Amino acid sequence: MRRVAQVIRVLPEKVDEYRALHRDVPQPVLDRLRACHIANYSIHLLGDRLFAHFEYAGDDLAADLALMAADEPTQAWWRLTDPCQEPVAEAGTGERWASMEQVFLME
């Protein structure tokens, strides 16, 4: 199992909309996350930063993320959520959610 942590900026004027969207995530989006071996997914807010954490139990995260990106319900969901966000300065080219380095883990 691999732990993944990511960060993105939420636009201040879109915080309430972003919260409202996540009160009712469409079931097909949740199903796709599970089908892509993603579990225990959470998103947290601090100021204008969103922090996401999930556990990945598959063998090829890049392939599973590509499957997710090709999924129509997920694309529709992203059309709602993407306008609420902007990448942080640390994001790589073409990266929306910037991956974070794990520096400590206590199990």
Count other Cβ atoms within 10 Å, centred on residue 55.
13
Residue 69's pLDDT is 97
Residue 105's pLDDT is 94
- Tell me, yes or no, whether 104 lies in a domain: no
Instruction: Read off the pTM.
Output: 0.92
Domain that holds residue 41: 2-99
Q: What is the CATH number of the domain that holds 47?
A: 3.30.70.1090
The Cα 85–Cα 99 span in angstroms is 15
Structural domains in the chain (count):
1
**Which two tokens mark 107?**
């199990």
Terminal Cα distance for the chain, rounded? 13
Q: What is the pLDDT of residues 29-87, one digit of tens each?
A: 999 999 999 999 999 999 999 999 999 999 999 999 999 999 999 999 999 999 999 99
